[in-house]
Homo-oligomer: A and B are copies of this chain.
Amino acid sequence: MKYFDIVIKNGTILTMDLKNPVINNGIVGINGELISFLSEDEGNCFETKKLIDARNGIILPGLINGHTHAAMTLFRGLADDIPLMEWLSNYIFPAESRINPDFVYSGTLLACAEMILSGTTTFCDMYLFEEETALACKDAGMRSIIGEVLYDFDSPNYGSVEKGLIYTESLIKKWHNDPIISIAVEPHSLFTCSPDLLMAANELSLKHRVPLILHLAETVDETKQVEIKYGNSPVQHLNSLGILGPHIIACHCVHINADEIELLNKYDVKVIHNPESNMKLASGIAPVYEMLSSGITVGIGTDGCASNNDLDLFSEMDTAAKLHKIKNMDTTVMNAYAVLEMATIGGAKALGIEKIAGSIEIGKRADIIVIDIHKPHLTPMFNPYSHLVYSAKGSDVLHSIINGRLVMSERNLLTMDVKKVMEKANKISKNILAN
């Protein structure tokens, strides 16, 4: 008789693997970190330590948040609805100048709680004190790609600019063989990083074969600044420095034209779309349909909680699907499947982890969520893809498995004491206001 550490049964498996997209009344068998069995339930006999009954729900790859600043959960709702420069200068920068390792660990743990509760199993982070981010993810059991933000100013973490690369390299070495944490090189943007810093970061990224992640063409202001300083648009500037390639993950890409889309596609640059943040900060609408049509790999992200203000990919998918219909005045663009792809296998491809995550396939790591469909807002059921994108909420996610480990069962977080995590966050927030 077959043995599995975990079995999920009695659900519709949407694998997000085009070779085998839907398994009705399916069974997933997990051993260790890996998916080891996948089939329709034909009365199969097996033994297991842990049987999860999906109760006719949907079994889906865990969602992938392609871009966030996790610890910024602690700034959630600190300041909204004010001009971008005022928001940055009067609220975010002063608050950030006072953050410390405890802030980042606690804020990231809170972010992991929120993300697991809303179906996310992997996220890609850019922030300060990222060693703490890694430690919080280890404790939460969350898969993550993590990078210390690099820029031309002194950092409250590593100090002067040249030490940022040293700190990043030490992270890369330390976490090299971790099963859920991996490290990227993350220069902040073209308007906060000199060409020298960008090129040194790119070299480090190529040396260790890890992604280079940066903000690109997010706002009109940024684009203007780069044009004035370097005589080039952001994408052209990156190209002139020789920093376009398949290892580049460019977040936002709002202000890019058709030629630049072609250039990004030619160099197989990956893009992360952050629709709600771009809307709330009035940055613009990225030409995502055009990028996807040209063949660019696009993932989806929530961005940080100071500009969204949550980390819920269900709401982000819903918004993305609708936003590009209105942008293009065409109901057929960005259909439900295409958007779900951005949050699963497309996101995995964008982050370079498609060999281990993003779909339910034998041999991949078990990053799987189970969604309850017995809710009025998911009734009746004509099309599960439509329901996942247009009707489902993060709170419909019942169970979550990351890297073969059950991290949420019946909406209870198993890897942390969520009450304590929230208490700590509330305590830190009082200090943010006090200072």
Q: Is the CB of A322 within 8 A of B422?
A: no
The residue on B at minimum CB distance from A111 is: B376
Bound-complex Cα distance A321 to B422 (A): 27
**A74, A113, A377, A419: residue with the most chain B Cβ atoms closer than 10 Å:** A377
Q: Is the CB of B77 within 8 A of A332?
A: no
Q: Is the CB of A76 within 8 A of B391?
A: yes
A336 contacts B by Cβ under 8 Å: yes
**A87, A110, A278, A319: residue with the most chain B Cβ atoms closer than 10 Å:** A319
Q: Decide: A78 near B382, CB < 8 A? Known: A326-B278, A326-B285, A331-B282.
A: yes
Q: Name the segment of A158-166, A194-202, A304-312 touching the other chain.
A: A304-312
A387 contacts B by Cβ under 8 Å: yes
* Chain B residues whose C-beta falls within 8 Å of the C-beta of A428 in the assembled complex: 380
Q: Decide: A379 near B82, CB < 8 A? Known: A282-B326, A330-B282.
A: no
Least Cβ–Cβ distance between A235 and chain B, in angstroms: 21
* Chain B residues whose C-beta falls within 8 Å of the C-beta of A380 in the assembled complex: 74, 76-77, 425-426, 428-429
Q: Is the CB of A77 within 8 A of B319?
A: no
Bound-complex Cα distance A114 to B114 (A): 23
* Chain B residues whose C-beta falls within 8 Å of the C-beta of A329 in the assembled complex: 220, 282, 284
Q: Is the CB of B422 within 8 A of A312?
A: no
Q: Decide: A381 near B280, CB < 8 A? Known: A376-B110, A376-B113, A376-B418.
A: no
Q: Is the CB of A376 within 8 A of B81?
A: no
**A278, A328, A331: residue with the most chain B Cβ atoms closer than 10 Å:** A331
Bound-complex Cα distance A419 to B331 (A): 33
Q: Is the CB of A393 within 8 A of B394?
A: yes
Q: State the main secondary structure of chain A at its contact with B.
A: helix
Q: Is the CB of B421 within 8 A of A390?
A: no
A133 contacts B by Cβ under 8 Å: no
Q: Is the CB of A332 within 8 A of B391?
A: no
Which of B283, B322, B425 makes the CB contact (< 8 A) with A276? B322
Q: Is the CB of A393 within 8 A of B393?
A: yes
A214 contacts B by Cβ under 8 Å: no
Q: Decide: A425 near B377, CB < 8 A? Known: A322-B279, A326-B282.
A: no
A43 contacts B by Cβ under 8 Å: no
A325 contacts B by Cβ under 8 Å: yes
**A77, A83, A332, A433: residue with the most chain B Cβ atoms closer than 10 Å:** A77
30 contacts between A and B (CB under 8 A): A76-B380, A77-B383, A77-B387, A78-B383, A80-B336, A80-B383, A81-B336, A82-B332, A84-B331, A87-B331, A117-B377, A220-B329, A279-B323, A280-B321, A280-B331, A282-B325, A282-B331, A308-B390, A309-B387, A312-B377, A374-B419, A376-B418, A376-B421, A376-B422, A380-B426, A381-B429, A382-B429, A393-B393, A393-B394, A395-B395
Known: A76-B382, A279-B326; 9 extra A-B contacts, CB below 8 A, are A77-B381, A80-B386, A114-B376, A220-B329, A280-B322, A309-B391, A315-B315, A381-B429, A382-B429
